[in-house]
Structure 1
Amino acid sequence: MKIAFHPKLLDCLPGYNRAQFAKDLASGITVGVLALPLAMAFAIASGCSPAAGIWTAIIAGFITAALGGSRVQIGGPTGAFIPIVYGIVALHGYANLMGATILAGIFLLAMGLARMGQLIRFIPVSVVIGFTNGIAVVIFLAQIKDFFGLKIDNLPAEFFHRIKALAANAHSVDLPTLGLASACFIFLISYNRLAQHVALLRRAPGPLAVLIVGTLVSFLFDLPVETIGSRFHGIPQELPALGFPDLSIHDFGKLISPAITIALLGAIESLLSARVADGLIDDRHDPNQELVAQGLSNIAAPFFGGFAATGAIARTSTNVKTGGRTPIAGIIHALVLLGIVLIAAPLASYVPLATLSAIVMVVAVNMGEWHEFMELRRYTNNYRVILLATFLVTVIFDLTIAVELGMVLACLFFIYRMSELTRIERRPLREEADDPHLLYPDGTMRVAAWQMFGSLFFGAVNKLEVLLDPAAGHPEVVILDMTQLIQLDTTGLEGLESLLDKLKKRGCTLLVCGMNSQPGSLLQRSGFIDQLGDNNVCADLSAALKRAYILLPDLMGGNEENY
């Protein structure tokens, strides 16, 4: 198998000019500034340090842009990872999170090299909407602690324990924290409307504006609220120490399941983001190259103290809207973040956690496709069951279980639907009225023809039983018209072999006619045609009836020409 490694950056460099660089520069600076508050907020919400979020954005952002399969993809930590990363940190610790991230990166890299990028498109939209809305709810619930300033040392990762802990500590609401968080939330929700009337606001991304305003209010009024400095002792103004996470070989066994979850969500979100970007710039991304880049990003980030990353839809859209059209913009975004860390890191100590909590809550509200719940009545019960089951299991249990359940339900409903579309119907013959020799004395047929429709597969093979039903009589010749049979699997083949054997025991001859290419190929390769006999394979129903007259000599004197 030929492995292709061709980043989009290589396609963009020929013909690259100063005018495009100016656009990419402006876009990269804008997205880099936007990524700063989001990286810190997502990291804190995930149970990690804000520095871990920033370095994840820097490393993943650079690799995604330089080696990815999309012209405009921006990589980094995202809100969708919050419940997954928080759960891993709570259960296994931060060192094991980095180990799970590296393992997930290896999985993603293997998927890309194996050219499995297109397989992600097989996930039904009902499953995607279900877990996306579920993740949004989990993110929102996880921010209640910092939004209300509740006195909870460690918020449990498990849903019911988390609800119990929030309810038990509801009395510990901190009013200054709640006031600041509420003001930031309302300001950010209404930011786009305000920007239409205030020219200054149009020049700054909403999360950055809220971060600056919230920090200034907290500092100038000396609000007694928790900040990055009070909880995390600020952000180091230096490059992180490069090193491998402190793990033993025994740790990797328990990290396989979390790593699969990270890889699965990372693949889905990055390819969805790239597909959205394609629509915005009229381009086509390479899904396999994108998975390779995401794999390398997740392998590299933990060596710098980072964690799970993927393509970020909001930052990618911002990149496109501000003029970015090549991976250079994504590289500049990473360098801007690096410059902010090395120059302005001490200022981050004053950022209140309530402001970051409000930013994450707004992200959760915006990422959910809530209108889909209102439109469920327009769709089938199967669609509703899949979406709601995936949503509820994501919220209550785990994303991996939710996606697995959603896919299983989707497959079962698809099998049921396909089996319903598969039909085997009795085909009336005009000869029944013209030739009394075709009938037994009791009026049942000596020659019976059946038409097959759809796909004869494991979910519909039981449809063959109608041919052996005593009510169908005991014909001496059974004709199977396969002109409308488009697909046959090995279980369907086994069903036909069983049918042939039972008909032979009854002294009945089976004829088939009108085979399409796929069923015909399988019947030939399996040896079924040899068992049946070449003479009993006919081009169409008319030819099959001629063969039946030969097999039953008393019909019209056994002369085929008399038919």
Structure 2
Amino acid sequence: MSDAAGETGQSDSAEPPAEPPAGGPHPPKRGPVRRYLARFGTRRTMLSDARAGLVLGIESIPDGLASGVLAGVNPVYGLYGYLFGTLGGALATGSVYMSVQATGAMSVMIADVPLVVGSDRQGVVIATLSILTGLVMLGLGLARLGSLVRFIPTAVLVGFINAVAVNIVLGQLANLTGYAGEGANRIIRTIDTFAHLTSIHWPSLVIGAVTIGLILLLERTFLGPLSLVVAVVLASLLPLVPWFGDAAIVGDLTDVPNAIPLPALPDPSLTLDLLVPALSLALVGLVQGAAISGSIANPDGDYPDASADFRGQGIANLTSGLFQGMPVGGSMSATAIVRAAGARSALANLLAAVVMIVGVLLLGGVITQVAMPALAGLLILVGVRTFKPRDLVMVWRTGPIQASVLAVTFVLTLIVPLQYAVLVGVGLAVVLHVARQSNRVVIRRWVYADSSPHPVETEPPAVLAPGEVVVLVPYGSLFFAAAPIFAGQLPEIPDRCERAVVVLRMRGTDELGSTFLRVVTDYAERLRRAGGALILVGLGDRVMTQLDATRATVVIGRDRVFAATPRIGDSLDAGLAAARAFAAPSASSGPGEPEASDRDR
């Protein structure tokens, strides 16, 4: 459900390679079917996978119900999401170990979609949302955009995940206390709850507290991950005692049939209303899943392809939606549980889904007796453990830009619907990054001393002098937003500046935008009118092509544009030779400029 920040499972060694055949040193290549079946291990790994699948399957039943409660929907839809998400992920992800389930962040996001929570056709809406989310994930995977997640700044993720942790805790106060606070968001509803302490249902509060205490106690025993299940079961027995008798149970919200749900077709008319939530859910799910792809190797020692995991999570969502399950994504916590329990292949997750199916078929009536305050206690503990103050402090100390992105994302996640908060956070990070990069463009002048072949870097002159040869080197990203900053640092051109030459070294710049090209050509034209010249050196192939295609070489002069060569300094030597030839009638060279044999490195 909610993903832990770190991996808690033990490392699993891969199966020893098969002995090479007698006829040669290398084993024969396996066909695609055999390669696919290899993800489910061998006879030697079956026992370990069966044990791990049993642990994850049993643990996922109350966890799936809790996920539905957290999302504000029928808890059964959370359980179905766990079941069919785990099944689809086991069959399709590139990561052998990845468990695909509804994460805490995704569940809280669903709770902020009014069309889902308030619908009288909740099953159809959930199915539509899951399928849309799956299509987005699958499309990104087919387009091989697995690297997309690296563009999501850490400040956004840290702010979002920690605010989600707060939302998880605050969102369960109603189930924990038996009093539903009123207000536009969770903060206001929490304040209203504390303002009505006399309305708290104390038996429910006790059940939730007992659940948390039992989990903390039983985790120290041999039960391990199963302590969650045992704690919820034991706490759910308390309503049998008269004083706890009117505490809410799952059966008060819905019936849990002893059957697998029938397929449900999505409603295409809901696409536009659910598109933004689906995009946000896909983004969050894929980012959380990417933590698994990048940190947990497959049994063969290779790390899975992130795009393959995108496709697998997409298929898992399509499977979940087809059977009215909630949207799902790669779950670090579930993956950690199944690996810690001894998983050796994808068979463990496949068997976990089978265990959940058996649980639904045999224990439907029992599941309805689970106490809602017990699930609330479980979720509150998950929320507290998801909150990472160290990550907040680390990002906050990184710098004002990162701190601003962190603060805005954190606050927005608390007060606005989460599907908008995460998109705004990403958008803000992009804008601030562009602003920061544009302001980092710096121009320096290279001046050579007679006794050294190496240049001394200084500030460029404020104003060009007649007959002066100035070598300028820009540092930073030369994209459209940086063009005005770049232009403001170029030396001023007086009305008359005969024989002055500006040599602009562009080595390392592989592309120029139209805005930047206009700045360069305008400067070249102004220099020409004042009697001077602009020379460009160290140009890459793509920049040369751009200059020719836009006819910028006509404005600058084709004989004043010099392409980069493999040997550093050749193009600058050629450019300086042209500059000296242009300035020769009034001065042999600008002060401090190198002789023809000097190299500009």
- TM bracket, shorter-chain basis: 0.7 to 0.9
Q: Offset at 1:147?
A: 1.0
Q: Structure 1 CA distance, aligned partners of 2:34 and 2:551?
A: 52
Question: What is the 5 A alignment of 1:200-349?
Answer: 201-202=223-224, 205-219=226-240, 223-245=244-266, 247=267, 249-278=268-297, 282-349=301-368
Q: Offset at 1:251?
A: 2.7
Work out whether residues 225 and 352 of structure 1, in 8 Å CA contact, stay in contact via their aligned partners in 2.
no
Aligned to 1:408: 427
Which range is displaced more, 178-187 or 484-493? 484-493
Which range is displaced more, 444-453 or 51-60? 444-453
Is 1:457 the counterpart of 2:510 in the alignment? no
Aligned to 2:459: none
Work out whether residues 467 and 497 of structure 2, in 8 Å CA contact, stay in contact via their aligned partners in 1.
yes
CA 1:57–1:499 in 2, change beyond 3 Å: closer, same or farther?
A: same
Q: Offset at 1:552?
A: 3.8
Aligned to 2:567: none
Q: Offset at 1:91?
A: 5.0
Q: Offset at 1:359?
A: 0.7
Q: Offset at 1:186?
A: 2.8
Work out whether residues 101 and 262 of structure 1, in 8 Å CA contact, stay in contact via their aligned partners in 2.
no
CA 1:268–1:357 in 2, change beyond 3 Å: closer, same or farther?
A: same
Q: Structure 1 CA distance, aligned partners of 2:464 and 2:344?
A: 77
Q: 2:56 is aligned with what amino acid? A: V
Q: Structure 1 CA distance, aligned partners of 2:408 and 2:99?
A: 31
Q: Offset at 1:479?
A: 2.6
Q: 1:87 is aligned with what amino acid? A: D
Q: Structure 2 CA distance, aligned partners of 1:506 and 1:8?
A: 73
Work out whether residues 50 and 235 of structure 1, in 8 Å CA contact, stay in contact via their aligned partners in 2.
no
Work out whether residues 424 and 464 of structure 1, in 8 Å CA contact, stay in contact via their aligned partners in 2.
no
Q: Offset at 1:430?
A: 6.0
Is 1:146 the counterpart of 2:165 in the alignment? no
Q: Offset at 1:379?
A: 1.6
Q: Structure 1 CA distance, aligned partners of 2:558 and 2:254?
A: 83
Which range is displaced more, 448-457 or 123-132? 448-457
CA 1:8–1:478 in 2, change beyond 3 Å: closer, same or farther?
A: farther
Work out whether residues 9 and 65 of structure 1, in 8 Å CA contact, stay in contact via their aligned partners in 2.
no
Aligned to 1:3: none
Q: Structure 1 CA distance, aligned partners of 2:337 and 2:464?
A: 76
Is 1:47 the counterpart of 2:47 in the alignment? no
Aligned to 1:185: 212
CA 1:52–1:545 in 2, change beyond 3 Å: closer, same or farther?
A: closer
Normalising by structure 2, we get a TM-score of 0.81
Q: Offset at 1:450?
A: 3.2
Q: 1:129 is aligned with what amino acid? A: V
CA deviations on 1:174-195 (whole Å, 9 max, x unpaired) are 1111112112123324543x32
Q: Structure 1 CA distance, aligned partners of 2:40 and 2:350?
A: 18
List structure 1 segments (4+ residues) > 6 angstroms apart after TM superposition.
6-9
CA 1:556–1:370 in 2, change beyond 3 Å: closer, same or farther?
A: closer
CA 1:545–1:275 in 2, change beyond 3 Å: closer, same or farther?
A: closer
Q: Which consecutive residues of structure 1, in runs of 5 or more, have no partner in the other structure?
A: 1-5, 432-441
Aligned to 2:558: 534
Aligned to 1:437: none
- Secondary structure at the aligned position of 2:260 is classed as coil
* 1:124 maps to which of 110, 130, 153: 153
* 2:501 maps to which of 478, 481, 487: 478
- Secondary structure at the aligned position of 1:274 is classed as helix
- Secondary structure at the aligned position of 2:65 is classed as helix
Work out whether residues 26 and 323 of structure 1, in 8 Å CA contact, stay in contact via their aligned partners in 2.
yes
- Secondary structure at the aligned position of 2:503 is classed as strand
Q: Offset at 1:427?
A: 3.5
CA 1:16–1:527 in 2, change beyond 3 Å: closer, same or farther?
A: same
Q: Structure 2 CA distance, aligned partners of 1:336 and 1:100?
A: 26
Aligned to 2:492: 469
- Secondary structure at the aligned position of 1:514 is classed as strand
- Secondary structure at the aligned position of 1:241 is classed as coil
Question: What is the 5 A alignment of 1:387-406?
Answer: 387-406=406-425
Q: Structure 2 CA distance, aligned partners of 1:226 and 1:537?
A: 81
CA 1:374–1:457 in 2, change beyond 3 Å: closer, same or farther?
A: closer
Q: Structure 1 CA distance, aligned partners of 2:187 and 2:370?
A: 31
Q: Structure 1 CA distance, aligned partners of 2:180 and 2:547?
A: 70
CA deviations on 1:4-37 (whole Å, 9 max, x unpaired) are xx99994452894222111111111111111111
Which range is displaced more, 475-484 or 177-186? 475-484
Q: Offset at 1:554?
A: 2.1
Q: Structure 2 CA distance, aligned partners of 1:556 and 1:386?
A: 54
Work out whether residues 445 and 475 of structure 1, in 8 Å CA contact, stay in contact via their aligned partners in 2.
yes
Q: Offset at 1:336?
A: 0.3
Normalising by structure 1, we get a TM-score of 0.86
Number of residue equivalences: 535
CA 1:211–1:525 in 2, change beyond 3 Å: closer, same or farther?
A: same
Question: What is the 5 A alignment of 1:5-24?
Answer: 10-11=35-36, 13=38, 16-24=41-49
Q: Structure 1 CA distance, aligned partners of 2:119 and 2:364?
A: 29
CA deviations on 1:57-76 (whole Å, 9 max, x unpaired) are 11111011101111011112
Work out whether residues 228 and 348 of structure 1, in 8 Å CA contact, stay in contact via their aligned partners in 2.
no
Report the structure, 1 or 2, having the larger helix content: 1
Q: Which consecutive residues of structure 2, in runs of 5 or more, have no partner in the other structure?
A: 1-30, 451-462, 563-569, 590-594, 597-601
CA 1:225–1:502 in 2, change beyond 3 Å: closer, same or farther?
A: farther
Aligned to 1:499: 523
Is 1:551 the counterpart of 2:549 in the alignment? no
Is 1:162 the counterpart of 2:189 in the alignment? yes
- Secondary structure at the aligned position of 1:323 is classed as coil
Work out whether residues 180 and 193 of structure 2, in 8 Å CA contact, stay in contact via their aligned partners in 1.
no
Q: Offset at 1:239?
A: 2.1
Q: Structure 1 CA distance, aligned partners of 2:470 and 2:390?
A: 51
Aligned to 1:32: 57
Is 1:79 the counterpart of 2:104 in the alignment? yes
Q: Offset at 1:300?
A: 2.7
Aligned to 2:14: none
Percent of residue pairs identical: 21
Work out whether residues 444 and 473 of structure 1, in 8 Å CA contact, stay in contact via their aligned partners in 2.
no
CA 1:534–1:242 in 2, change beyond 3 Å: closer, same or farther?
A: closer
Q: 2:467 is aligned with what amino acid? A: R
CA 1:233–1:387 in 2, change beyond 3 Å: closer, same or farther?
A: closer
- Secondary structure at the aligned position of 1:459 is classed as helix
Q: Structure 2 CA distance, aligned partners of 1:549 and 1:451?
A: 16
Query: RMSD value over aligned CA atoms?
Result: 3.1
Q: 2:168 is aligned with what amino acid? A: I
Aligned to 1:106: 135
Work out whether residues 483 and 514 of structure 1, in 8 Å CA contact, stay in contact via their aligned partners in 2.
yes
Work out whether residues 69 and 287 of structure 1, in 8 Å CA contact, stay in contact via their aligned partners in 2.
yes
Work out whether residues 236 and 345 of structure 1, in 8 Å CA contact, stay in contact via their aligned partners in 2.
yes
Q: Structure 1 CA distance, aligned partners of 2:343 and 2:54?
A: 10
Q: Structure 2 CA distance, aligned partners of 1:214 and 1:546?
A: 86
